[in-house]
């Protein structure tokens, strides 16, 4: 749906008058999975699809929330913008309003808001972060708040914690807010220091494969992994003064891992520590133009996510196994929170069409599900469109 169609839909729903439009992208993470809430490094890029927010301030003391993707609509009083509405999608934008209220910002005017997303929901490409960030960017500008973009990113993460119940790291919201076309974001999730690294993938495409087995972060498995990582830190603290798993190097972990008596907790920690190391090395390889070495680290990442972190599942593993057999595949791995969702692959240009055909057919034969493929185009972070 293009911008003029979105404007028409807004006017059809809310009537004639001025309207502003904002956009924030989804993201795909090239490497560095489940490291963000452990203070480690991640390497995502913003995508060309995401979530749109059309907004008009009104004289009413309420905010209207509607979506072209969801049937549920809500009218929420300005006094209730800090309270969830059941388990509905509107909690994502309401949660962002709540963060502004926490900062002492008071709204004296309501608004009509219409959302539309072209991120496949449940694919693990951060549709939730995109709606949070686009809401924050829209509120910040329309109400003249003037907060810096990084602050909007942090508030979007808080909204996810408090209104969706997912104790996510900062990666998704940061990529959606701070990404740039033709670049990936090399982010230290502890300090929020970041570098926009040019994606030098000469002759290579990024191909996203949606398993169409939706991931469900609210299932509790994601939060369970967070707790297991905290347990690993507690077990290691008497032997090394750390506050998070990013504070320990691979060789140090190998020397101390036997102090983690729970085998499952040890494996969770081993994934995080080695994944942080893989991410550092992968970015160095990309800067050197060594895409083949980058791809090998993607394979190792998937193995670790499958065997140590146990967040892949049969569909993601079936997609991975189909992909690694194909000529022209430089690297492939699951991406996102896991438990369904997407893989991301680096595929030579001349092999992309056959990759999509053959991998899609094998995956369907194994799982009975029909996948979707996207040749990824990078995009900019959250912004005003009109």
**Per-residue 3-state assignment (H helix, E strand, C coil) for the chain:** CCHHHHHHHHHHHHCCCCCEEEEEEEEEECCCCCCHHHCCEECEEEEEEEEEEEEEEECCCEEEEEECCCCCCEEEEHHHCCCCCCCCCCHHHHHHHHHHHHCCCCCCCEEEEEEEECCCCCCCCCHHHHHHHHHHHHHHHHCCCCCCHHHHHHHHHHHHHHHHCCCCCCHHHHHHHHCCCCEEEEEECCCCCEEEEECCCCCEEEEEEECCCCCCHHHCHHHHHHHHHHHHHHHHCCCCCCCCHHHCCHHHHHHHHHHCCCHHHHHHHHHHHHHHHHHHHHHHHHHHCCHHHHHHHHHHHHHHHHHCCCCCCHHHHHHHHHHHCCCCEEEEEEECCCCCCEEEEEEEHHHHHHHHHHHHHHHHHHHCCCCEEEECCECCCCEECC
Distance CA 140, CA 148 (A): 9
Distance CA 263, CA 319 (A): 28
Distance CA 21, CA 298 (A): 37
pLDDT of res. 219: 57
From the list 54, 58, 69, the residue with the least C-alpha distance to 7 is 54
pLDDT of res. 217: 52
> Does the 204-375 domain belong in CATH 3.30.70.890?
yes
Show pLDDT as tens, one digit a residue, over the chain (386 residues): 999 999 999 999 999 999 999 999 999 999 999 999 999 999 999 999 999 999 999 999 999 999 999 999 999 999 999 999 998 999 999 999 999 999 999 999 999 999 999 987 667 687 899 999 999 999 999 999 999 999 999 999 999 999 988 888 899 999 999 999 999 999 999 999 999 999 989 999 999 999 998 655 545 888 899 999 999 999 999 999 999 999 999 999 999 999 999 999 999 999 999 999 999 999 999 999 999 999 999 999 999 999 999 999 999 999 999 999 999 999 999 998 888 899 999 999 999 999 999 999 999 999 999 999 999 999 999 999 99
Asked if 302 and 271 count as a contact pair (C-beta separation under 8 A), the reply is: no
Say which residue the tokens 């185009």 belong to. Answer: 377
pLDDT of res. 192: 96
Asked if 276 and 264 count as a contact pair (C-beta separation under 8 A), the reply is: no
For the CA atoms of the chain, what is the radius of gyration? 21
Asked if 164 and 220 count as a contact pair (C-beta separation under 8 A), the reply is: no
> Does the 3-198+380-384 domain belong in CATH 3.30.230.10?
yes
> Which one of the listed residues 36, 112, 172, 317 is annotated catalytic?
172
From the list 360, 267, 250, 382, the residue with the least C-alpha distance to 315 is 360
pLDDT of res. 216: 59
pLDDT of res. 339: 86
Q: Where are the domains of the chain?
A: 3-198+380-384, 204-375
Distance CA 338, CA 246 (A): 21
pLDDT of res. 168: 87
Phi, psi of 88 (to 5 degrees): -90, 165
Provide CB contacts within 8 A for 18, sequence distance 6+.
Answer: 56
CA dihedral over 267, 273, 274, 276, signed as positive or negative: positive
pLDDT of res. 324: 98
- For 170-226, the pLDDT digits (tens) are 999 999 999 999 999 999 999 999 999 999 899 999 999 999 986 555 458 888 999
| Paired sense of beta strands 110-117 and 62-67, if any | parallel
Distance CA 239, CA 229 (A): 16
353 is known as an active-site residue: no
pLDDT of res. 163: 94
Give the distance, in angstroms, between the CA of residue 212 and the centroid of all CA atoms in the same chain. Answer: 17
pLDDT of res. 273: 98
Distance CA 157, CA 151 (A): 10
pLDDT of res. 48: 93
* CA torsion, ordered 273, 291, 370, 211, to nearest 10 deg: 20
Distance CA 217, CA 386 (A): 33
């Amino acid at each position: 749906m293009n911008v003029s169609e979105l404007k028409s839909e807004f006017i059809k729903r809310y009537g004639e008058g001025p309207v502003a439009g904002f956009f924030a992208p989804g993201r795909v993470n090239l490497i560095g999975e489940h490291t963000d809430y452990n203070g480690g490094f991640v390497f995502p890029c913003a995508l060309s699809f995401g979530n749109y927010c059309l907004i008009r301030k009104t004289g009413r003391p309420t905010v209207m929330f509607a979506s072209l993707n969801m049937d549920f609509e809500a009218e929420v009083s300005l006094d209730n913008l800090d309270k969830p509405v059941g388990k509905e999608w509107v909690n994502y934008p309401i949660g962002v309003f709540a963060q502004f209220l926490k900062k002492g910002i008071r709204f004296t005017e309501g608004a009509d808001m219409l959302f539309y997303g072209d991120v496949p929901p449940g694919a693990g490409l951060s549709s939730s972060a995109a709606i949070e960030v686009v809401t924050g960017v829209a509120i910040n500008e329309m109400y003249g708040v003037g907060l810096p973009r990084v602050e909007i990113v942090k508030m979007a993460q808080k909204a996810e914690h408090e209104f969706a119940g997912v104790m996510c790291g900062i990666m998704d919201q940061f990529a959606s807010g701070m990404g740039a076309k033709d670049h990936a974001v090399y982010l230290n999730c502890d300090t929020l220091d970041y570098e926009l690294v040019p994606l030098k993938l000469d002759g290579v495409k990024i191909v996203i494969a949606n398993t169409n087995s939706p991931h469900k972060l609210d299932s509790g498995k994601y939060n369970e992994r967070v707790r297991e990582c905290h347990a690993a830190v507690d077990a290691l603290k008497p032997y090394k003064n750390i506050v998070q798993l990013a504070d320990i190097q691979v060789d140090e972990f190998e020397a101390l891992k036997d102090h983690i008596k729970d085998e499952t907790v040890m494996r969770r920690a081993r994934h995080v520590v080695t994944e942080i190391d893989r991410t550092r090395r992968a970015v160095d390889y990309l800067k050197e133009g060594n895409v083949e070495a980058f791809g090998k680290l993607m394979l190792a990442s998937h193995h670790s996510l499958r065997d140590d972190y146990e967040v892949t599942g049969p569909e993601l593993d079936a997609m991975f196994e189909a992909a690694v057999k194909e000529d022209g595949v430089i690297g492939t791995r699951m991406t996102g929170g896991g438990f369904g969702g997407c893989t991301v692959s680096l595929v030579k240009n001349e092999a992309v069409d056959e990759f999509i055909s053959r991998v899609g057919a094998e995956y369907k034969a194994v799982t009975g599900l029909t996948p979707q493929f996207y040749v990824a185009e990078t995009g900019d972070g959250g912004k005003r469109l009109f």
